[in-house]
């Protein structure tokens, strides 16, 4: 076995002759396959000239960069993206590399960061660290940190340091790799190339498990806008009509107040709802204390701290508790110092909300993110040293289509039951209804729920087992869906985009009709 220098580059085939063709810049080639057994189909096409011509028609990227960024579909669209490459000797004639010389091979996907930097998806100390920027020579290092540690046997320190430098042993990060495989010998022989192939991963449920970056948070401007105008400088709250108003939750739900008063009070309730939902304000003592710096005027020289007062108002007007609350006679203008304290306390209180509501970013979640793929092979050496890693050039940049975008396969077919068959259906699923739920539904009409007057169960009640027929529920949902689509079409004009109905062709009636 002669140890020629090796290079790995993308491989395509000429659509007219089926001859092998190197990609632009040697970047990985991408094939879009819709075959259910695409690997077996790939092997079959490699073995014949006609097959390789057909394979050329599935190439969606030959490595060339264009102004239009390539968009890759996901497996949910019924599509598989395959990377195709070859390993050849970097000498005159470029003979193909013997498969025995390739110890292993893989493909990495890196995200393009700000300033055209690269980010790698890595694990660190057994946990997923997420996207981590790569600095300079780190882009050329081996993805596996174990292979960056150099020989384990003792030796001269200066030699070991030089080996580590050459191997770019710069961190303990383990970069995520998709394996590349060598096509079967008969397929490689027919193509006259050592063909490498692998699935391009464009979907993942992985998310960062370790704290590698700042926690998500609002900036000061966002917090101030959410607290405005009630906790803001230079703004006056229009409180006319609300002075000393006594009100209950039902007054709002049943619209018992004059329209102007109702509209103005609704704005105030939206503010309270924001304090509860966004800031979890009344469960954070520091935030309540900061709001208490502002005193609300209740007349006759009586003043109440804003934080404690707003908490009591929110219990009734937002949470729907029984009772009557009284609004202050006016809303004061807080000082700049008070506003600063409230804003900082509000900003700090969002940390818990962020942790509860916003999960860590998944690997391919960021919309509009651009990625590149890069392949490598580890080549065995005759001198007994660790295998040498050889990298391909980067692929053309690409984005990933969202799951809801249109794919290339026909939609899923869901047969609805015929109206004449309804009497034959029986319940095929049973719901376990917790105690009290059945009484809640029986005691109240749909109108009660819409008007906010629904009554709670009077006692603990008993549990029920309720059987339903899923096909009939699906039919009901289909009817309701059509009604709502027609109503909302008045606003969105979307019927022509999301609903396409065609009569069943006569040639297909045997398939679809009784």
Picking from 31, 78, 71, the residue whose alpha carbon sits closest to that of residue 401 is 71
pTM beyond 0.85? no
| DSSP-based three-state secondary structure for 174 | strand
Is it the case that residue 67 has pLDDT exceeding 60?
yes
Q: Is the model's pLDDT at 168 over the cut of 60?
A: no
- Which of 108-122, 210-224, 392-406 is the least confident region? 210-224
Region 40-47 average pLDDT = 95
Tokens of 236: 């006056």
- Is residue 150 very low, low, confident or very high in pLDDT (cuts 50, 70, 90)? low
CA dist 355 and 360 (Å) reads 9
Grade residue 1 by pLDDT with cuts at 50, 70 and 90: very low
Residue range 99-133, pLDDT digits in tens: 999 999 999 999 999 888 999 999 988 899 999 99
Q: Report whether pLDDT(301) > 70.
A: yes
Whole-number pLDDT of residue 167:
56
Say what percent of the chain tops pLDDT 90: 55
> In the predicted model, is pLDDT for residue 284 greater than 80?
yes
Concatenated DSSP letters of 462-474:
--EEEEE-HHHHH
Q: How many residues in the chain? A: 514
Is residue 212 pLDDT above 60, yes or no? no
Does the pLDDT at position 162 exceed 70? Answer: no
Whether 257 and 241 have beta carbons less than 8 Å apart is answered as: no
What phi, psi does 170 have (nearest 5°)? -105, -15
- CB-based contacts of 184: which residues, under 8 Å, 6+ apart? 43
Q: Is the model more confident about 459 or about 390?
A: 390
**What percentage of the chain has pLDDT greater than the value 70?**
94
Q: Give residue 226's pLDDT.
A: 92
User: Could you tell me which of 179, 177, 153, 149 has the C-alpha nearest to residue 165?
Assistant: 149
pLDDT grade for 358, boundaries at 50, 70 and 90? confident
What's the confidence (pLDDT) of residue 197?
A: 97
Lowest mean pLDDT among 3-12, 336-345, 487-496: 487-496
pLDDT exceeds cutoff 90 at 336:
yes
Report the mean per-residue pLDDT for the chain: 88
Mean pLDDT of 55-76: 92
CA distance 256 to 247: 10
Reduce the secondary structure of 1-35 to three states and give it as a string.
Answer: CCCCCEEEEEEEECCCCCCEEECHHHCCEEEEECC
């Amino acid at each position: 076995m002669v140890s020629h220098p090796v290079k790995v580059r993308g491989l395509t085939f000429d659509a007219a002759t089926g001859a092998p063709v190197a990609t632009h810049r040697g970047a990985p080639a991408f094939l879009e396959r819709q075959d259910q057994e695409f690997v077996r189909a790939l092997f079959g096409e490699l073995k014949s000239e006609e097959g390789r011509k057909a394979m050329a028609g599935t190439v969606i990227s030959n490595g060339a960069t264009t102004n239009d960024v390539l968009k890759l579909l996901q497996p949910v669209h019924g599509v598989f993206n395959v990377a195709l490459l070859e390993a050849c000797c970097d000498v005159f004639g470029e003979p193909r590399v013997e498969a025995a010389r390739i110890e292993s091979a893989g493909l990495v996907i890196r995200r393009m960061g700000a300033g055209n930097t690269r980010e790698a998806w890595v694990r660190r100390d057994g946990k997923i660290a997420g996207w981590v920027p790569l600095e300079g020579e780190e882009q050329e290092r081996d993805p596996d940190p174990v292979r960056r540690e150099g020989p384990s046997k003792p030796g001269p320190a200066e030699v070991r340091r030089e080996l580590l430098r050459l191997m770019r042993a710069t961190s303990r990060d383990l970069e995520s790799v998709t394996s590349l495989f060598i096509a079967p010998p008969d397929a490689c022989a027919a193509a006259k190339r050592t063909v490498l192939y692998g699935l391009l991963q464009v979907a993942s449920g992985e998310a960062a498990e370790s704290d590698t970056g700042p926690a998500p948070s609002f900036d000061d401007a966002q917090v101030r806008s959410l607290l405005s105008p009630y906790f803001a400088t230079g703004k006056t709250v229009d409180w006319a009509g609300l002075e000393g108003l006594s009100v209950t939750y039902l007054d709002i739900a049943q619209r018992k107040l004059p329209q102007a008063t109702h509209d103005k009070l609704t704005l105030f309730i939206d503010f309270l709802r924001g304090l509860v939902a966004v800031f979890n304000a009344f469960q954070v003592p520091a935030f309540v204390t900061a709001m208490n710096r502002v005193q609300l005027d209740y007349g006759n020289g009586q003043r109440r701290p804003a934080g404690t007062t707003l908490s009591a108002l929110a219990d009734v007007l937002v949470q729907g508790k029984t009772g009557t609350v009284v609004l202050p006679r006016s809303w004061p203008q807080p000082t700049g110092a008070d506003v600063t304290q409230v804003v900082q306390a509000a900003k700090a209180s969002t940390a818990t909300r962020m942790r509860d509501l916003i999960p860590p970013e998944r690997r391919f979640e960021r919309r509009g993110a651009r990625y590149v793929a890069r392949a490598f092979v580890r080549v065995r050496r005759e001198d007994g040293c660790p295998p040498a890693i050889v990298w391909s050039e980067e692929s053309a940049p690409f984005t990933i289509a969202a799951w809801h975008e249109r794919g290339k396969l026909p939609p899923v077919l869901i047969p609805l039951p015929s109206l004449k068959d309804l009497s034959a259906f029986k319940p095929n699923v049973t719901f376990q209804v917790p105690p009290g739920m059945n009484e809640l539904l029986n005691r109240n009409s749909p109108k009660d729920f819409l008007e906010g007057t629904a009554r709670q169960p009077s006692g603990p009640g008993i549990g029920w087992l309720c059987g339903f027929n899923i096909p009939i529920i699906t039919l009901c949902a289909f009817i309701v869906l059509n009604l709502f689509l027609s109503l909302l079409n008045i606003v969105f004009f979307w019927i022509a985009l999301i609903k396409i109905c065609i009569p069943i062709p006569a040639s297909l009636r045997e398939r679809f009709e009784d």
